[in-house]
Structure 1
Amino acid sequence: MNEIIPILRRCKLFCELEDSVIAEQILPAGNILRYPEKTTLILGQDTVDWFAVLLLGRVQISQIHPDGRRNLMGILRPPAVIAADLICTRTRRSPYDAIAATDVRLLRFPMNWLFERKLNPDIQMSVYRQLMTLVSHDNMRRYYRIAILSQKGLRSRILTYLTMQAERLCCSSFTIPFNREELADYLCVNRSALSHELKRMEREGILRTRKNLFVLCQDGEREG
């Protein structure tokens, strides 16, 4: 159990708390759960009454359309919080699926533990403050994704996404959290078309790429 405390200390929800508080008041309130790859943790339209800290593995957040198409919204890695946005809504009904992309381990908490004043008031206020920050960051990520998907051309979507990453990291060389298939799903484009366009952009000297490492060489024209 002691190896979990540093992970929780890095989790935004508990980052203001001392290790002793995490060990004595936070850790005992959760249950450690393990799920194999491809397990559906949250199904679209589920009503969710829990939240969890991801301790190990990756979780894909996706929307599955009636025709079977998948719209990848993001990928969570430790120490991300799962379902923080859902428990703050009136219905707590999920608009997305959360699926284990690898074997995962979670520390899951009942929602009532957070909202029924079972914590010291100062600790609870700290967690509430960080929860508000988490939800705000989720909203900003959705805004950025809308800005990407509003671009009409494939090249425009690619460059908008990569430029956002470079600006966020203040560096023209960076890694992204997606493989090619995941990036295609995130941008809502065909994987083959994405690979072809990236190769063409490399030939034109706009970028260099190796797997999920990208280097922006110059400002390319944003046209599809």
Structure 2
Amino acid sequence: MAVKEMYEKYLEEISEVSLFQGIERLDIEAMLNCLKPIIGHYKRSDYIVKGGDKYESIGIVLKGSATVSKENAAGNRSVMTLLKQGDIFGEIVAFSSVMTWPATVQAQEACEILFLPRGKIIGDCERMCSWHRIFIQNFLRIISERAILLNKKVEYLTVKGIRAKICAYLLDQSKKIGNKKIVLPLNRNELADFLNVSRPSMSREMGKLRDEGIIDFHLTEFEILDFQALKNSMSE
């Protein structure tokens, strides 16, 4: 089947992915012909890749959402991030000697994933495609940005106390969007895993913050009512 026929319905989604920023649509079609990606379809809760599986491709979420998680030696699962449409996974190890996936990616809802072969990305382009330089620049930028996010994850892990972790996370989310009203990208279970705390304890602390008039919330919608009190709570 021709590339145009295989990927035409995905070109709109692909063109919006940061990895293809600055590349013309016609060049994206040529790129797909050169990279020869594979598209996978997954149902809710399906494993897209498991930690320890052979690493062969970089994934891009075309539709749906998925979680990236790891398990420690005791078998406790920790959610590292939530992937949404346009997000990329596997890019951190693309240029390393790692030959297995370092984390598990699981569909949170029905997903369509585009896999770019690792060898095609890190290998030489025999055709000297005009888009290759832009593609690599985008790739390096994304890796740098992801490293910054991972540093933020480490920050949360070093914050002492469940209350302080919640406050730090809410303040960061508010700062990110520039608004006191926040829609969290994670549900309660995922947020507890992300902050490395127990769900019941986290819910209790959130309830206390609401009772004290510092925040208000409903499901994943939060509003910061008292910024200073929220900041002060980080040191309690």
TM-score, structure 1 normalization: 0.92
Instruction: Give CA deviations for 1:115-148 in whole Å, capped at 9, x if unaligned.
Output: 2233544311111111111111111111111111
Aligned positions, number: 224
Q: What does residue 3 of structure 2 align with?
A: none
Structure 2 unaligned regions, length at least 5: 1-6
Deviating beyond 4 angstroms after TM superposition, the runs of 4 or more aligned structure 1 residues are none
CA shift, 1:92, in A, is 3.8
Q: Which amino acid aligns with 1:222?
A: M
Q: What does residue 131 of structure 2 align with?
A: 123
CA distance in 1, matches of 2:159, 2:117: 40
Cα pair distance change 1:16/1:92, threshold 3 Å:
farther
SS of 1:3's partner is helix
1:44 is aligned, of 25, 48, 51, to 51
Moved more, 129-138 or 81-90: 81-90
SS of 1:2's partner is helix
Asked if the contact 1:54–1:105 (Cα under 8 Å) also holds between the matched residues in 2, the reply is yes
CA distance in 2, matches of 1:38, 1:120: 40
Q: Does 1:13 align with 2:19?
A: yes
CA distance in 2, matches of 1:88, 1:116: 10
Moved more, 178-187 or 32-41: 32-41
CA shift, 1:25, in A, is 2.5
Aligned-residue CA RMSD (Å):
1.7
Q: Does 1:207 align with 2:205?
A: no
CA distance in 2, matches of 1:108, 1:18: 20
Moved more, 1-10 or 166-175: 1-10
2:8 is aligned, of 2, 6, 9, to 2
Q: What does residue 156 of structure 1 align with?
A: 164
CA shift, 1:27, in A, is 6.2
Cα pair distance change 1:205/1:27, threshold 3 Å:
farther
Percent of pairs with identical residues: 20
2:95 is aligned, of 79, 85, 88, to 88
CA shift, 1:182, in A, is 0.7
Asked if the contact 1:31–1:109 (Cα under 8 Å) also holds between the matched residues in 2, the reply is yes
TM-score, structure 2 normalization: 0.88
Q: What does residue 154 of structure 2 align with?
A: 146
Asked if the contact 1:153–1:223 (Cα under 8 Å) also holds between the matched residues in 2, the reply is no
Structure 1 unaligned regions, length at least 5: none
CA shift, 1:223, in A, is 4.1
SS of 1:85's partner is helix
Q: Does 1:32 align with 2:39?
A: yes
Cα pair distance change 1:27/1:217, threshold 3 Å:
farther
Q: What does residue 62 of structure 2 align with?
A: 55
Q: What does residue 225 of structure 2 align with?
A: 217
